[in-house]
């Protein structure tokens, strides 16, 4: 019997999503003659039974394409779904309807490609009977159970290029330049791009900063003839004893707070404290857009083919992952335990400290 497999992409878009869709579909079509359907707009497509068939031709030529050909949603959660009643919105559990819809699709497996929010929902759906395999996606690199996620390398590459460009203005104008990067409550992007871009001060959510410490580093550099400083900070960074800066709340979303703005706050405070001209640049969604790097294309292809293999073997309730230089499967239960953050004694932090980089603490 010909197998029928569904694929969905959930959460924020990310370079490499199409490369995974391509890899899963091509392997299953070529090796199993499987029929592939693409669920549109993440879990929203399961709520509305909105999907399309994906032929071999449909997944050709998408390896280098950013975003997702299936569309995505970072608010649709079957266990907490926003239902409108007049002008009021009620959050309802409509998972039974979604599970019924999955059944009616007659699929033998469903590949859910997403970040921690999407994969936590995938785990719940799996526990409720859906045949799900996960693939870890996020520029934030904060998914438990895998060393790395696809999208991260692309984001770090874009952010590093941004820091390089900011460097020239910082140097020419003798300014403090602050570059705010994404990553939510994990500092992976800022840590990697900060080191790759030669940041003088790197601020991470995991290490609360002191304004006085940052000011002292900047002034010391000034004394040594370095009349500029580059501060790379993660959007989830916070001062000692303080809290994160929230840009907006998306109340329908599984993870409701959208962070952003700490760079401007710090810039204003630092300019007052030091008397040195300070400017802030927020890299924002540029980090998520466009074509994946060669590294991410390869990683996405590997994770996609691993997920296809797991579907063939019926390894449901698991996620394709990377451990060392091996592709492995880890249980979605482990993944759903929350984000993976940067350890304070991470080797990259130690080596950056040893060359004089400050982490603001
Ligand atoms: O998880 C990816 C990410 O880009 C985070 O780094 C960022 O905090 C968030 O998504 C932004 O979400 P949105 O696109 O909803 O503003």
> What is the per-residue pLDDT across 143-196, written as a single tens digit (0 to 9) for each?
999 999 999 999 999 999 999 999 999 999 999 999 999 999 999 999 999 999
State the virtual CA torsion across 120, 123, 129, 130 in degrees, nearest 10. Answer: 80
> What is the per-residue pLDDT across 314-323, written as a single tens digit (0 to 9) for each?
999 999 999 9
Task: Read off the pLDDT of each residue in 233-262 and give the average, rounded to a whole number.
Answer: 94
Among protein residues, the one whose CA lies closest to atom 16 of ligand 1: 258
Distance in angstroms (rounded) separating the CA atoms of residues 201 and 59 = 43
Among protein residues, the one whose CA lies closest to atom 8 of ligand 1: 184
Rounded to the nearest angstrom, the distance between the alpha carbon of 223 and the centre of ligand 1 is: 38
Among protein residues, the one whose CA lies closest to atom 11 of ligand 1: 258
Per-domain boundaries in the chain: 4-150+292-335, 156-287
Share of the chain above pLDDT 70, in %: 100
Report whether residue 183 contacts ligand 1, using a CB cutoff of 6 Å.
Answer: yes
pTM over 0.85: yes
Report whether residue 12 contacts ligand 1, using a CB cutoff of 6 Å.
Answer: yes
CATH topology of domain 4-150+292-335: Rossmann fold (3.40.50)
Q: List the structure tokens of 285.
A: 């969604």
Q: Is the dihedral of CA 121, 244, 154, 356 positive or negative?
A: negative
Q: Tell which atom from ligand 1 comes closest to the C-alpha of 250.
A: 15
Rounded to the nearest angstrom, the distance between the alpha carbon of 26 and the centre of ligand 1 is: 29
Positions marked active-site: 140
4-150+292-335 and 156-287 in the same fold: yes
Write down how long the chain is: 361
Distance in angstroms (rounded) separating the CA atoms of residues 95 and 267 = 45
Region class of 333: left (phi > 0), else alpha (psi between -120 and 50), else beta:
alpha
| CATH label, 156-287, candidates 3.30.70.1290, 3.40.630.10, 3.30.200.20, 3.40.50.460 | 3.40.50.460
């Amino acid at each position: 019997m010909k197998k029928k497999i569904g694929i969905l992409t959930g959460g924020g878009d990310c370079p490499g999503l199409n490369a995974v869709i391509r890899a899963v579909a091509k392997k299953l079509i070529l090796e199993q003659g499987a029929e592939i359907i693409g669920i549109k707009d993440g879990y929203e497509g399961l709520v509305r039974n909105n999907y399309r068939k994906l032929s071999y031709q449909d997944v050709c030529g998408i390896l280098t394409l950013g975003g997702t050909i299936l569309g995505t949603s970072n608010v649709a959660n079957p266990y907490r779904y926003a239902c409108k009643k007049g002008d009021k919105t009620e959050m309802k559990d409509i998972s039974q309807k979604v599970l019924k819809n999955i059944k009616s699709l007659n699929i033998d497996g469903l590949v859910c490609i997403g970040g921690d929010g999407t994969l936590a929902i995938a785990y719940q759906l799996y526990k409720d009977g859906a045949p799900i395999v996960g693939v870890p996606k996020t520029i934030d690199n904060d998914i438990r159970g895998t060393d790395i996620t696809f999208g991260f390398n692309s984001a770090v590459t874009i952010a590093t290029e941004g820091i390089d460009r900011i460097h020239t203005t910082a140097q020419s104008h003798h300014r403090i330049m602050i570059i705010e990067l994404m990553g939510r409550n994990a500092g992976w992007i800022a840590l990697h791009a900060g080191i790759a871009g030669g940041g003088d001060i790197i601020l991470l959510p995991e290490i609360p900063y002191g304004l006085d410490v940052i000011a002292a580093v900047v002034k010391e550099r000034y004394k040594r003839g370095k009349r500029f400083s580059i501060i790379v900070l993660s959007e989830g960074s916070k001062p000692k004893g303080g809290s994160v800066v929230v840009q907006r709340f998306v109340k329908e979303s599984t993870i409701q707070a959208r962070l952003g703005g700490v760079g401007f706050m710090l810039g204003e405070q630092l300019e007052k404290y030091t008397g040195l001209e300070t400017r802030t640049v927020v890299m924002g969604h540029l980090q998520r857009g466009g074509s994946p790097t060669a590294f991410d294309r390869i990683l996405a292809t590997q994770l996609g083919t691993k997920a296809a293999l797991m579907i063939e073997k019926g390894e449901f309730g698991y996620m394709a992952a990377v451990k060392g230089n091996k592709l492995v499967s880890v249980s979605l239960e482990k993944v759903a335990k929350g984000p993976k953050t940067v350890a304070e004694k991470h080797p990259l932090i130690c080596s950056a400290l040893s060359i004089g980089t400050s982490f603001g603490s």
